[in-house]
Structure 1
Amino acid sequence: MESAAQPDTAKPAAGGMMRLFKVPNFMLLFGGQTISTFGDALYMVALPWLILTTGGSAQELGIVLSAYGIPRAVCMLAGGWLSDRLRPRRFMLIADTVRLLLMGVLAVLAFGGHPLLWQLCAIAVPLGALGGAFTPASMSMVPDILDRDDLQAGNGLMMASMQGANLIGSSIAGVIVSGLTSAVALAIDAVTFLFSAGSLALMRGTKHATPDGSQIEASPEASQDHPQASAQEVGMQISFWGYLGTSRLIQIALFMFIVSSLVTGGLIEVALPALVQGPMQGNASGFGFILGGWGAGALIGSILAGMVGKYKRKGLIILLGGMIIAAMFALLPVGGVLGAVACMLIGGIASSGFAVLFFTAVQMNIPSHLMGRIMGLLMFSSQGLYPVSTVLAGVLANHFGPAILFPFAGLVLAVVMLFGMTQKVLREL
């Protein structure tokens, strides 16, 4: 059953975000994960360039990326379970330590010149698995160190930092790889895991310190317990399957995420470049500008969502954001490259705002002892079907052309949001 939502009152938004940097554990998490995300952006540029410039083929690149991507998707579910068993901070620390070692080995192989395909796959599989398992743990970490009143602002800041680090990291990665080598970029990525692990290790044993200087007490063993959990909620200890079978909110969220994932994953990765190269008669720089529009919008949307006041109901705002995303996808093929950039910018703002508000509302309703598993399930439903979506988009774009897929995707998303509006539990979040 969902825990009863406490009445929210409006608070000064921007000040509420800045005050979070007075919370030592949040400051450590924010800094460590921002640096780690920057490193991830280096990896995503350096690895393909390493393979393609050391005698590897596009087919071998696809094999290595699959060796990374498939375990990453599957292990989101396992990561949620491990997060609940070990507590998020402990599991994240273990995952970052192992990834530091793996990335260090990959950098050494890259400095050696020509890593073999089996060597790359042997490293990519555990890297992907740990990356996927890390995701639900990191989503569970913010509720562990912030109270309910600061959770939305904290989620907004964390998502904004990731979007900003990705934007900057991708740009700098190209400079590092072209000016130096892929091996240098991979070595820097290894160092970012050291910073992330160090920030997690430095977190103190209390639940969290509030910005006014007070602390919520906790024993060292219970230091990672969720601060928003009530005694009644902990006492009930509802099972994962029992909660999943009775929580209408989670059931609706899973349905909406699965449909949205199937529709949008391949749309961006397959149909969009085909649209730019074909009907739009654009080039690679135009495609890059369009993707940059989404990234910039996502950064803006994360900050704005974190600044939204603590109002009692946010469900309709969330659903309105989904309708805006649907409209932007539907209109994207109409205005050429510049029109597509504008649509992606607006869609990115709505998408990040949707994600921050929705995940905050869900986190505030999940029993604390199930936080990792539920987050893992939601993450898998939103990202794990990506391979299916790309295959589906490729087949449909080949048969019907890429342009028609965008209004179709917009229509499907709009129907999903209209369905959400019929659900009282979602409207009244």
Structure 2
Amino acid sequence: MFINGKFLLLWLASIFAGLSISIYILVEQWYVVKTLDLKASLGVVMMATTIPRVLLMAVGGVLADRLKRSNIIFVSFLIRGLLTGCMAFFVFINQLDLWILLIFALLFGALDALFWPARDSILPLIVKREQLTRANSFMQTTKQLSVILGPVLGSILLSTISYKGVFTTIAILLVLGSLIIAKIKEQQSKKEKTFSFWQELKDGIVYVRRSTLLSTIMLIFIVVNFLFIGPLMMGIPLIVDEKIHGSALDLSYLQSSFAGGMLLGALAIGTLNPQKKRGMIAILVIGIEGFILGLLSQVNETW
């Protein structure tokens, strides 16, 4: 697997993708809270970044199933690089206000949604079948590590250079990612090129609705994200600014610790591999999450 040139290129591009999105989210949040001083608008900006990523994942899956995955990844990288380069320019001319930031957030989130389905679906085409499980595990672990390291790297850059410099750095990472992906040659999908995009998207939705298990899992996913992940992600920057009176580095510590906890949880559940009462375990974990979220309101120190 590690002597596979295409896999190594995809792995390196994935590192750039993970770092760029995690740095972008940190800088975006801190810019709204500290520079624009629009704390009440933080949720709107985060929704503009996140909702397109969630809603368009299904669209990205349909496109990845029919078009060249490498082309989708390349376009996602390149256009996001150009967008963040434009953001650096708007910061330079002091014109990056809330409405412009919202437009960039929407576009960035939408393009990021196209990247991950294409990245995941191209993997079986470039590694052998017997190596696919290991390759997937390696990619997912790398993604989590980049999400952990990204905020710390972003806060260090933010404390040493300006917002303009950080957005430029993100743009460079994304453009480098596009150049790397351009070196991966992929065979055209064997499926027919003529297809109904909307019909395939509809078929996927109908399939999920007919599956009680999938529908239940998606409903739980929506509830947990709406009532837990959303308030947590919006609350962390506000806690750092208003209660801890910290810096961007403190914000990165909290965001990285959250990502690190997700990685540890994934490793724990993979090691324990519970076979019984999985639904009860999920309900118990959700309850604990709610209790801890309540305790978060009482924190006054970064640790």
TM-score (norm 1): 0.55
Provide the residue aligned with 1:165 in structure 2. 146
In the alignment, what sits opposite 1:257?
218
Counterparts of 1:338-353 in structure 2, within 5 Å, are none
Q: Give the structure with the larger helix fraction.
A: 2
Any idea what the Cα deviations from partners look like across 1:206-236, whole Å, max 9, x if unmatched?
xxxxxxxxxxxxxx434xx69xxxxxxxxxx
Deviation at 1:199, TM superposition (A): 2.0
Residues 322-360 of structure 1: per-residue CA shift (max 9 Å, x gap): 6555444444688xxxxx6xxxxxxxxxxxxxxxxxxxx
- Percent identity between the aligned chains? 21
User: Which runs of 5 or more residues in structure 1 are unaligned?
Assistant: 1-19, 206-219, 227-237, 309-313, 335-339, 341-396, 404-429
Q: How does 1:23-172 map to 2 (within 5 A)?
A: 23-172=4-153
Change (3 A) 1:68 1:134: same
Is 1:296 aligned with 2:296? Answer: no
Whether the aligned pair in 1 keeps the contact of 2:7 and 2:127 (CA below 8 Å) is yes
Alignment of 1:221-240 (within 5 A): 221-222=188-189
Alpha-carbon shift at residue 172 of structure 1 (Å): 1.8
Q: CA deviation at 1:80?
A: 1.9
- Structure 1 residue aligned with 2:196: none
Q: Counterpart of 2:259 in structure 1: which amino acid?
A: G
Deviations 1:159-199 (A, max 9, x none): 11111111111112112112222221111111111122122
Closer/same/farther in 2, CA of residues 261 and 61 from structure 1, 3 Å limit: closer
Q: Report the Cα distance in structure 2 between the residues aligned to 1:48 and 1:251, rounded to whole angstroms.
A: 37
In structure 2, the CA distance between the partners of 1:323 and 1:110, relative to structure 1 (3 Å rule), is farther
- The 8 Å contact of residues 160 and 302 in structure 1, kept in 2 or not, is answered as no
- TM superposition shift of 1:200: 1.3
Deviates more, 1:59-68 or 1:321-330: 321-330
SS at match of 2:2: helix
- The TM-score normalised by the length of structure 2 is 0.74
Aligned-partner SS, 2:96? coil
CA contact (8 A) 2:51 2:109 kept: yes
In the other structure, the counterpart of 1:4 is: none
TM-align CA RMSD: 4.0
- The one-letter code of the counterpart of 1:154 is A
Distance 1:260 1:81, change over 3 A: closer
Q: Which amino acid aligns with 1:65?
A: M
Query: Any conservation in 1 of the 2:59–2:201 contact (CA below 8 Å)?
Result: no
Structure 1 residues 123 and 248: CA distance shift in structure 2, 3 A: closer
* Counterparts in 2 of 1:121 and 1:287: CA distance versus 1, 3 Å: closer
Of structures 1 and 2, the one with the larger relative CO (CA 8 A, separation 6+) is 2
Aligned partners of 1:46 and 1:183 also within 8 Å: no
> Residue 158 of structure 2 aligns with which residue?
177
SS in 2 for 1:22: coil
Q: Give the conservation status (yes or no) of the 8 Å contact 2:77–2:174.
A: yes
Question: Among 177, 183, 190, which residue is 2:171 paired with?
Answer: 190
Change (3 A) 1:89 1:255: farther
Over 3 Å counting, the alpha-carbon distance change for 1:319 and 1:162 in structure 2 is farther
CA distance 1:322–1:173, shift in 2 (3 Å): farther
> Do 2:29 and 2:42's aligned partners in 1 also have CA atoms closer than 8 Å?
yes
Q: How many Å separate the matches in 2 of 1:120 and 1:272?
A: 18
In 2: Cα distance, 1:150 partner to 1:240 partner: 30
Structure-1 residue corresponding to 2:194: none
Which stretch shifts more, 129-138 or 288-297? 288-297
